[in-house]
Amino acid sequence: MKVLVIGSGAREHAIAEALQQSKKVETVFVSPGNDGIAKEHSITSLPQFENIKEFVLSNKIDFVFVGPEQPLAEGIVDYLQHHNINVVGPMKAAARIESSKAYAKNLMKINNIPTAIYEVFTEYDLAKEYLEKCAYPQVLKADGLAAGKGVIIVSDINEAIESLKDMMLNGAFGTAGDQVVIEEFMEGWETSIFAFTDGIDFISTIFSQDHKAIFDEDKGPNTGGMGAYAPVKKAAVYHQFVDENIFTPVLEAMKRDGNPFQGILYAGLMVTDSGPRVVEFNCRFGDPETQVILPLLKTDFADICTSIFTKRVKDLTLEWSDEYAVNVVAASKGYPDKYEKGMIIADLYNDHSIKDAKVYYSGVKNESNHLVTNGGRVLSVTAKANDLVGAIDKAYKRLSELSFEGKTYRTDIGKKGLI
């Protein structure tokens, strides 16, 4: 088979690698990819949906895998399916589960899916009135896609009004802030899980855990994700609960409403005293969770993708490695705010001495025959070992061999799994 992966980050690097490992896959193309991914896979630039269609038809691509949420929210799947192209990912209407928090919250409320109590507002005055009556903390969320940054936890009324003004009056998140969700703050610990689904049946993965804040001990502003580990052993007891009370009702409701979700559904959960509750759904794989989930997956990933677009998920079983995987991200200094680009990346000991450690590239590009930094999250390392401590050690050892000016990373990735 020939496969095309859409996206440019470390997540897409991991997806391309998982597909390439299938004996059934001959070539993996990535668009646009990056110059780090290009060391191992063919990258190509297909800026418009039409370019993708033409590439797929002229190269006889068997299926397209869409990594990020943006093209899904813009209807890439609708477009490609209209041209009889096999694609893994939800149609635009189903992608609203991520692109509209109000849609996702309403769906959860109607179907009794455990989540934070909330209200949706399109008018500043009504939202302000509501905030004046709330108990704190509360969580303010811009409705649309805001690259993981549209969520503000406010601890008192003054902070709440300031943030509301920024969102609804000052356009801090663009049009994403025209509609705002205000919800109850949930106390607990976070974990995430994916469901592979064809819109009818689903099968869920093991649990992983992201580290969203930039600094150790979850301090500082939220980022796209600074590292992850899997499996999260203490989450395993909730697997059946999540399948029965979260994935089953949401997928059945979407099917019933005429928006069946086909692809990878991400559930971000807060495990509270009363059990897991949904923080958010995403309409795609998580980044960096994918970089720890796929390396532990023993089932052929191309078979999983095929079962999604041929609607054979009911026949699917998943087999997992007994190991642990840890992914540590190295970012540019200043990220998630302003940062500089163009720092030369050196791989000091590229002798493959550390087995089972793999570099996934995101914000990088080639300049005068050197790989240089070209984004906030630059690269990440995933390591596997029989125990979590071993995987953590190995990931940090390999990361220490990769150097660039301003290299910023957390030193506590995976530690929560040791408690």
Give the CA distances from residue 383 to residues 200, 210, 295, 364, in Å, rounded to whole numbers and listed in that order.
35, 15, 9, 20
Q: Per-residue x/- mask for ligand GLY, residues 207 to 236, rule CB under 6 A? A: ---x--------------x-----------
Using the contact rule CB under 6 A, the part of the chain among 6-14, 80-88, 182-190, 237-245 near ligand AMP is 182-190
Structural element, H or E, at residue 392: helix 388-400
Q: Residue 198 touches which of ligand AMP, ligand GLY, none (CB < 5 to 8 A by kind)?
A: none
What does the alpha-carbon distance between residue 267 and residue 48 come to, in Å, rounded to a whole number?
A: 29
Q: Residue 417 touches which of ligand AMP, ligand GLY, none (CB < 5 to 8 A by kind)?
A: none
What does the alpha-carbon distance between residue 171 and residue 124 come to, in Å, rounded to a whole number?
A: 12
Instruction: Kindly state whether residue 190 participates in binding ligand GLY, applying the rule CB under 6 A.
Output: no
Least CB distance to ligand AMP at residue 280 (A): 4
* 198 vs 289 by CB, closer to ligand GLY: 289
Token pair for 21: 């490992």
Find the binder of ligand GLY among 12, 143, 287, 323 (CB under 6 A).
Answer: 287
Which residues in 96-155 contact ligand AMP (CB under 6 A)? 116, 139, 141, 148, 151
Other beta carbons within 10 Å of 252: 13
Instruction: Kindly state whether residue 286 participates in binding ligand GLY, applying the rule CB under 6 A.
Output: yes
CA nearest neighbour of 316 among 192, 197, 194, 193: 197
Q: Residue 282 touches which of ligand GLY, ligand AMP, none (CB < 5 to 8 A by kind)?
A: ligand GLY
What does the alpha-carbon distance between residue 356 and residue 358 come to, in Å, rounded to a whole number?
A: 6
Buried residues in 54-77 as b, exposed as e (16+ CB within 10 A)? ebbeeeebbbbbbbbbbbbbebbb
Least CB distance to ligand GLY at residue 150 (A): 12
Least CB distance to ligand AMP at residue 108 (A): 12
Q: Residue 220 touches which of ligand GLY, ligand AMP, none (CB < 5 to 8 A by kind)?
A: none
Token pair for 12: 């897409």
Could you tell me if 190 and 208 are in contact, meaning their C-beta atoms sit under 8 angstroms apart?
no
Q: Residue 287 touches which of ligand AMP, ligand GLY, none (CB < 5 to 8 A by kind)?
A: ligand GLY
Which residues in 200-239 contact ligand AMP (CB under 6 A)? 212
Instruction: Kindly state whether residue 186 participates in binding ligand AMP, applying the rule CB under 6 A.
Output: yes
Q: Residue 295 touches which of ligand GLY, ligand AMP, none (CB < 5 to 8 A by kind)?
A: none
Find the binder of ligand AMP among 72, 164, 182, 279 (CB under 6 A).
Answer: 279
What does the alpha-carbon distance between residue 233 and residue 224 come to, in Å, rounded to a whole number?
A: 24
Q: Residue 143 touches which of ligand AMP, ligand GLY, none (CB < 5 to 8 A by kind)?
A: none
Instruction: Kindly state whether residue 17 participates in binding ligand GLY, applying the rule CB under 6 A.
Output: no
Find the binder of ligand AMP among 17, 62, 190, 323 (CB under 6 A).
Answer: 190
Which residues in 49-68 contact ligand AMP (CB under 6 A)? none
Q: Per-residue x/- mask for ligand GLY, residues 125 to 164, rule CB under 6 A? A: -----------------------x----------------
Q: Residue 278 touches which of ligand GLY, ligand AMP, none (CB < 5 to 8 A by kind)?
A: none
The residue count for the chain: 419
CA nearest neighbour of 53 among 81, 25, 13: 81
Give the CA distances from residue 376 to residues 25, 34, 218, 362, in Å, rounded to whole numbers and listed in that order.
32, 14, 18, 9
Other beta carbons within 10 Å of 298: 10
Which residues in 147-176 contact ligand AMP (CB under 6 A)? 148, 151
Total interface residues for ligand AMP by CB under 6 A? 15
* 53 vs 212 by CB, closer to ligand GLY: 212
Surface-to-core class of residue 312, CB atoms within 10 Å of its CB (0-12 exposed, 13-18 middle, 19+ buried): middle
What does the alpha-carbon distance between residue 195 and residue 265 come to, in Å, rounded to a whole number?
A: 5
Using the contact rule CB under 6 A, the part of the chain among 103-111, 184-192, 326-334, 405-413 near ligand AMP is 184-192
Query: DSSP letters of 192-247?
Result: EEEEEE-SS-EEE---BEE--EEEGGGEEEE-S-SEEEE--GGGGGGHHHHIIIII
What does the alpha-carbon distance between residue 73 and residue 79 come to, in Å, rounded to a whole number?
A: 12
Least CB distance to ligand AMP at residue 386 (A): 29
Structural element, H or E, at residue 292: helix 290-293
Could you tell me if 247 and 108 are in contact, meaning their C-beta atoms sit under 8 angstroms apart?
no
By the criterion CB under 6 A, which residues form the site for ligand AMP?
116, 139, 141, 148, 151, 183-186, 190, 212, 268, 270, 279-280
Contact residues toward ligand GLY (CB under 6 A) are 148, 210, 225, 282, 286-287, 289
